[in-house]
Amino acid sequence: MKKNQTIPEQIWQFFCSARLAVYMLVLLALTSIIGTVILQNGTEEEYINFYGHGWYNLIKAFNFDDMYHAWWFLGLLVLLCVNIIVCSIDRLSSTWKIIFPQKITFNPDRFRKLKNLEKIILKKAPADLITDSEKLLLKAIGPVLKKDNGDSIVLFSEKGRWTRLGVYVVHASLLLLLLGALIGSLFGFKANLNLDEGKISDTAILIDNRNPVKLGFSIRCNDFDAKFYDTGAPEEFRSNLTIIEDGKETLTKDILVNHPLRYKGINIFQSSYGSAPPDSVSFEIIRQQDKSAVTKNVKIGEQIQLPDGETLFKLEGFQPHFDFSGNDLGQAFIGRIVEKDGKSFQIGLPLKFPTFDKMRKGPFAFVIKGAEQKHYTGLQITKDPGIWYVYAGFILMIIGCWITFFMAHESYFIEIENTGGQSSTLSISGTSNRNSHGLNLKIRKMCHTIKG
């Protein structure tokens, strides 16, 4: 920076520096490596176990546990966006004058000194040669400027001035990609939802901070089905989901892995599954006095009257692990018996041991005959409002790279001199802002075309 520059000029020069863009890209690359090495969106216990208390405090201080939403990472993206915009504006005025000049001019002496200048002598009148050359340029290149120097006639034609905008198309694509990333980080989310068969929910749990997030509609799991290989490994699992909005069913669809349901900008993916606690069980209730038995189906939370007409039984719930004298008996229903004098006690009824309750000395024993096993579907729910900016950025990136690397601004110069009689000397040269080798081949091809 120059010492006599004002502060606004210094700030402008800082942001339009290509070196700043390189630094930003290197920093983003390095910090992205940190995001892949350090566990993201883990629990406090996981970080302390992996890294210890000291490193955990440092990770939390700099948001390394949710790096792609950290203020400093988003700040780097914003700084890179500003750098790209300022660089583009700073160079656009000179590029604009090249693309849209007030008057197209050319310097013949410049073209005469080029290394790719080709000279050929033809047995053809200058007037005919001028006509043929003009037709060739008009057809292959574009409009032709003609200038009479007295002893020679010069022709000039060019194409592709607009291709100098290719780099700005690439800049615009980068801005769209970065804008999409910023919008997705600020207004998007990624959440999980475990939904039992037959259940409805309008709330998912955010992965990054475990907070609930409202979806704006409800999801009902109508059915879950899983297929397995002979080895027991899952082959396919499928969920039939219904979207309910304003009390009306608006969409029903089966989802599989890599075949999500998309609704109003929210994507619902099939990610996992598991066994859901049964909500009802069939009991055989045996009266110990005379061994008479009745079978009843009881739902969790339901209270029934036992055959003596005085004792009550309530199915209170279900436990995944039932402890009995220090032993884990696995999944079990929990019930409560209320006697006629008001006394009550709790009993456990493990699924693995259907006749377990017979060991208890009492007027009634409960034998499990069957319980309907249900599953829950594990859904990953994402929202990324910036995705369309990212798609547009990728399309613009392809277009901009094609223009930048495969198209060029080319200028062609032809000079025709009368060497006496019916012979003429023709000179061809040209310039291009890229791919000079390809331009030389085109000039030689023009020479062969004019020769016939």
Is 173 among the domain residues? no
Residue 45's CB is within 10 A of a number of other CB atoms, namely 9
Q: How many CB atoms lie within 10 A of CB 82?
A: 14
The C-alpha torsion from 329 through 332 and 334 to 337, rounded to 10°, is -80
What token pair was written down for 195?
A: 């939904």
Does the pLDDT of residue 7 top 90, yes or no?
A: no
**Average of per-residue pLDDT values in the chain:** 87
Q: What is the pLDDT of residue 48?
A: 84
pLDDT at position 153 over 90: yes
Residues 115, 33 within the same domain: no
Q: Looking at the structure, tell me whether residues 259 and 197 fall in a common domain.
A: yes
Q: What is the pLDDT of residue 333?
A: 92
On whether both 305 and 243 belong to a single domain, the answer is no
* Residue 394 within a domain: no
Shared domain check, 368 and 294: yes
What's the DSSP call for residue 164?
Answer: G
What pLDDT band is residue 4 in, cutting at 50, 70 and 90?
Answer: low
Instruction: Tell me whether residue 171 is in a domain.
Output: no
Residue 167 lies in a domain: no
Residue 172 domain-assigned (yes or no): no
Both tokens of 281, joined, read 């069980």
pLDDT tens digits for range 156-205: 999 999 999 998 999 899 899 889 988 888 888 889 999 988 889 999 99
- What pLDDT score does 76 carry? 86
Closest CA to 70 of 124, 129, 27, 99: 27
CA 237 from chain centre, in angstroms, equals 24
Residue at which a domain ends, from 372, 401, 425: 372
User: How far is 263 from 241, CA to CA, in rounded Å?
Assistant: 12
pLDDT at 440 over 90: yes
Pick the residue with more confidence: 412 or 21? 412
Q: What is the pTM of this model?
A: 0.66
Handedness of CA 259, 263, 266, 271 (dihedral sign): negative
The number of domains in the chain is: 4
Interval 114-131 mean pLDDT: 90
Q: How many helices (H) and strands (E) does the chain have?
A: 9, 22
CA-to-CA distance for 106 and 155, rounded, in angstroms? 10
Query: What's the pLDDT score for residue 413?
Result: 95
pLDDT of residue 240: 92
Q: What is the pLDDT of residue 215?
A: 92
**Structural domain span for residue 322:** 280-372
For residue 73, being part of any structural domain is answered with yes
> What CATH number is associated with residue 119?
3.30.310
Looking at residue 245, its pLDDT comes to 92
The more confident residue out of 68 and 417 is 417
Task: Check whether residue 245 and residue 323 sit in a common domain.
Answer: no
